Structure 1
């Protein structure tokens, strides 16, 4: 889609540019006569070229191909046949929350009759199978090229294990049509949520004019080239009989270890070291492309680059992770593993796994024994459990499982020592109680201390700081600073800590920010930029401007989001050029997401930033058309109507949001302000009162409600509203400050003093509160 506020190269011009680039590269090579034809081909490789298919790979790599056959990768996605479909489609029925789904066949075609996202029952054709064990899901065809994942799934475990039956992804709650988890909505859409990691060389190919997908791939499953990259040059190199000494044997990037290193175990200390220090950890980055929680930035995956070059990895945010970094949801292991000591010392995925079959290289605990002396670690003196029992297993204690998707137990790959003391302090899960579910964290801590004294629970851990900051507990920012200064924490921990900074109450926040913005880790640099969201715009732009030239896409994207609408009149020519490029790249990135309702909404917000309100309106219309139940989009659209001076339209949109979901907090606040603009304070007050009831966990609802009560000469009701808010949101800074202000205005000095004491205790680094305390004294 072309938009007038920034230049986009047309597809014809892009093709010309690529041809021109190849011509120049070839001409230069020919003139210098230093590159062979194969080297030229390799240098000019593009993502969508050169894929030859796994059958060609199998001609030479028979053992690897044999391992791959039958693996989760090979069976990641298949056409539905009597052989590949594991579920019961013999007129089987499955009922949950009053919705009965029927699974049947018409000839050779598989169907399910179920409730669609519009609340109506109809027949949906199964287009593909999705996965095999311990569950198999099914993709069904929707209009305009969309494929959606059914939430009823087939439990493919044995009957003895409770399987061989239909189940539901969300058995504990009814998923309404407006819920983002409804199977017909965007979070269950294959084209952009699933396709990249279940097939090879996927192109989303979305047409924003017709709202249509033409998504395609080179191979239906995760084949050889999904990991090794396009193999045409490698094949040509092999066909030459290896006559040409080509770097990486013609592969776009060599994923193998070729340094002949091995792991050494010191028999006295049992410490393990690699004979050669690992030069890079690209294999983990490569696997992390799919085995991580992340946001995809482009179809153009670049083999041999760090993950942040094409994706934005999720940091250790609650509730995806517990405060101590243990996984609390499906994290696909990258975020867990990169926290670990193993990763820091150079352990890669292939050290434990056969990368072609996906299975462990050795049975269970024998994998650990490759590096950890069995005499020491597989003994009762170490694990304190019955020999041969579940408690004696390395994996049980150091890789505890959580069950996701109802039936799929996943091991935590942070490979950590159990810490029940952290669980007592933060509520995070621990390996001990993962087995002893009938016991308390305190019970586990008691035995842990009995067995190991204080050997482990005296070790500092970022989990304590993260929990204190998240729950607004005293001294949280000071402990966070200690985490940030700790040279031993991993980059994903450091990035998370930087994001948690409170710039108002942390005296070292700007010092930490400057350090993080210069980090060698792209994830840390990006997280540092994201931490600036609460800061004034001029401060954001000051720190973001240099990062707009960063070599990593994810970092530039966040930097660009701060500066794309920055005025350029008084800037140097170099900075003007930087901002023009940032604007172009930022909008191009948003265009990649325009198949999502939120993507169109983001384009609308960007257009507002550039004062293109007419274009913003078009984007929001399309955003609503893509998903009429995306409520945050309608709230953003209502804000555009405010800017256009169409307050009644804004009110109508916000009322519609609350009619769909009466717990949608932001809509209450926006609607209250819309009523204020309409000079109807009574309706505004009533709206905020409802917000404190139906969305009580948002402290801003209590804050605005109290402000309105106080402005309407009802200070005592305002104090009561604040107290009610503080019961739910303990020590919330805004609520306490407002309460102090009202008490002071009412000359209730004693109560004001008590509030100041709470502020000083909760925010000991805030000089303003310290000064207030001195002033009162």
Structure 2
């Protein structure tokens, strides 16, 4: 990233160059040393926007303009550095099929194209976003426009201070200084994570990552369950970053190859900073010299042809979103997955056997190398099924999760998909994964437990809210809220509260400009029956992005629920003393709205009239459980069962309390009773009196 000066701007801005896409025309011009793009703004008016920064140096050049409110917006046209032409982001990078309009989230002047938000933490060093939610403005500060030494070696202040002193002190200089992180002192995984700061498809959770820190305290990776970014075999589907693919490669998994095994960490004269020219297999021969002795015996292709080029088969290039992307899985071609699932493969790619069918390529591969494709096809099919919620995926996905020698990121993605399938038979796999030694697997298992919705996971999730890894703690906390966890002690209450507050504080510190974060917080408040807090969170999301779909949907549902509640209050209040059933209905409704004292008060009035009703007792149980008074809740649930021993919701309440306490046997026993009588309640088994 650089300032937009004549030294760095390489696009064609001479003589009012124009580019038109789907009826939208852009004009690029230069006046003195300032460059402009004429394009409609949010108001639809054509305006000349001055270019403040350029971004990109290899394949295309992106242009950014600064707004008065501190936003840096990504202008809608790019310059193709290879083809020497202009193109609209919608026809390439974002592949939308038409020009964006001001109503689109990805319109260039909207939040979806705000550099301070969308490009955060990669295209500059030591960036401090400094977003102010109240004013909806930025005061973003940068350490450097480029990637500097501290990004990979950690803070350098102590290093500089030491050597300034050491210049005048020979003895001090001889001792050396060790505050900077040397990559060679880290594990292979930690070395790759240094590069993953920028070269991973991820969400930033907190600022302050330093090389060697726990990566998942700061970032949450997109894994194989992300079907927008990855094909089910892990191949990138759109413009995505290579960390996930490389971390799952055999070269990394079995040989500890790191990024610097191929790329020069301080730059080189070769393409993409490779440490050797990849032509002729020279780069790969550094680790695989025996392959090069008789390359044709390995490839069944002519030695000088593309079929004997290591990269063409094991790291094929793809043209995605107007950019050439290299597959970093370092895997083998599997044309059979193309036949079955439409996943691209190296054999039939452009420049190779594109004129032949995938079936033809699969037959050749089978004849030359045997049945190596079978296991890979089985896995790919299972992941594809898992994304669709198909139970046929479970045997293979479960085997992946339970294989402790498997790629950790694949295991994490697999357990996430198991949760998506939602089959209760897979609950034991999720429970086992909650105790896994891998923080990735624990974090994703916590998500899966919330999705599958069985409170049997509560005792294990309860432990994870104090996990040493941030992403595990917060995912466990959100799933506990979803499962209606009833903390039995003050210590348990404080642990859950601490994890939720930690997420809200960290997220609003780094992602207060993300509507998704506010919506996530809103959903947690909804689950806790904190209606006003939920509404506030959704309104904040809509302040950031007025078209945020999830927040609009949740607000609409909350408005409908509020209208129904208000109508109920209006209808029954005048007649509360005439029909005691109305008082019961209103009391229960208030409890479910989170108005616990009011709801409990009404039900206690009914109770004081010596009327026995399992609905009243269970309503009181729910009220006290939600309020955190587990002892009273348990007493009222038990009383409901004494009155009517088939009342399902009373058993449900007792099960939630037992699981929350860690008494799995009692939890299982009451949950079975709940399931046994649930249909009775649904079919009118609930009696008012």
TM norm structure 1:
0.66
More moved, 328-337 vs 460-469: 460-469
> 1:551 deviation in Å?
1.2
Aligned-CA RMSD value: 2.8
1:670-707: per-residue Cα shift (whole Å, max 9, x none)?
xxxxxxxxxxxxxxxxxxxxxxxxxxxxxxxxxxxxxx
CA offsets 1:87-112 (integer angstroms, 9 cap, x no match): 11221111101000111123322211
Q: CA deviation at 1:617?
A: 3.2
1:309-357, CA deviations, whole angstroms, 9 ceiling, x for partnerless residues?
2000011122311111222222311000111111112111111110111
- 1:380-420 Cα distance to aligned partner (Å, 9 max, x none): 121122222222210000011222331x2111111011111
Deviation at residue 214 of structure 1 after TM alignment: 0.5
Which of 559, 577, 582 aligns to 1:641? It is 559
Counterpart of 1:361 in structure 2 is 275
State the match for 1:705 in structure 2.
Answer: none
- 1:285 is matched with 193
Who is 2:89 aligned against?
A: 169
State the distance in 1 between where 2:339 and 2:85 align.
Answer: 38
Equivalent residue pairs, number:
548
Q: Is the 8 A contact 2:419 2:452 kept in 1?
A: no
Q: 1 CA distance for matches of 2:230 and 2:175?
A: 41
Deviates more, 1:466-475 or 1:189-198: 466-475
Q: Are 2:184 and 1:256 aligned?
A: yes
The yes-or-no answer on 1:342 pairing with 2:267 is: no
2:104 counterpart of 1:179? yes
Q: Are 1:352 and 2:273 matched, yes or no? A: no
**Aligned equivalent of 1:14:** none
Q: 1:425 aligns with which of 333, 336, 340?
A: 340
The worse-fitting range, judged by mean Cα deviation, of 450-459 and 555-564 is: 450-459
Deviation of the 1:425 alpha carbon: 2.8
Tell me whether 1:468 sits opposite 2:385 in the alignment.
Answer: yes
Task: Give per-residue Cα distances to partners, 1:620-649, cap 9 Å, x unaligned.
Answer: 333223222222221121122134327999
Secondary structure of 2:199's aligned partner? coil
Cα offset, 1:244, TM superposition? 5.0
Which whole-Å CA distance do the structure 2 matches of 1:459 and 1:139 have between them? 43
Segment of structure 1 superposing worse, 239-248 or 200-209: 239-248
1:234-253 correspondence to structure 2 within 5 Å? 234-239=159-164, 240=166, 243=171, 249-253=177-181
State the match for 2:12 in structure 1. 88
Structure 1: give runs of 5+ residues left out of the alignment.
Answer: 1-76, 158-162, 258-277, 650-767, 769-777
Structure 2 residue matching 1:367: 3-state secondary structure = helix
Where does the alignment leave 5 or more consecutive residues of structure 2 unmatched?
568-675, 677-689
Name 2:503's counterpart in structure 1.
586
Structure 1 equivalent of residue 370 of structure 2: 453
Residue 232 (structure 1) shift: 1.6
Q: Conserved in 1, the CA contact under 8 Å of 2:202 and 2:222?
A: yes
Counterpart of 2:296 in structure 1 is 380
- Residues 122 and 413 of structure 1: CA distance in aligned 2, closer, same or farther (over 3 Å): same
Of the three residues 316, 320, 325, the one matched with 1:404 is: 320
Mapped contact 1:147–1:190 kept (Cα < 8 A):
yes
Query: Is the counterpart of residue 320 in structure 1 residue 229 in structure 2?
Result: yes
Change in CA separation of 1:569 and 1:636 when aligned onto 2, cut-off 3 Å: closer
Q: How does 1:739-750 map to 2 (within 5 A)?
A: none
Question: What is the distance in 2 between the residues matched to 1:395 and 1:470?
Answer: 30
Question: What's the counterpart of residue 660 of structure 2?
Answer: none
Aligned counterparts, 1:108-119, within 5 A: 108-119=33-44
Change (3 A) 1:332 1:570: closer
Correspondence for 1:514: 431
Specify whether residues 633 and 648 from structure 1 end up closer, same or farther in structure 2 by C-alpha distance, changes over 3 A only. farther
Structure 2 distance, partners of 1:382, 1:417, is 12
Q: Which stretch of structure 1 is more off in the superposition, 639-648 or 93-102?
A: 639-648
Q: 1:222 to 1:247 in 2, by over 3 A?
A: farther
* Alignment CA distance shift 1:488-1:533 (3 Å): same
Answering whether residue 516 of structure 2 is matched by residue 598 of structure 1, we say yes
| Distance (whole Å) between structure 1 residues aligned to residue 453 and residue 481 of structure 2 | 15
Alpha-carbon distance, 1:589 to partner: 3.2
Secondary structure of the residue that 2:303 maps to in structure 1?
coil
When residues 140 and 504 of structure 1 are mapped into structure 2, their CA distance, relative to the original with a 3 A threshold, is closer
Output the CA distance in 1 between the equivalents of 2:520 and 2:423. Answer: 31
Q: Deviations over 1:251-304 (max 9, x none)?
A: 3432235xxxxxxxxxxxxxxxxxxxx955211011111100000011222331
SS in 2 for 1:475: helix
C-alpha separation between the residues in 2 aligned to 1:84 and 1:194?
A: 20
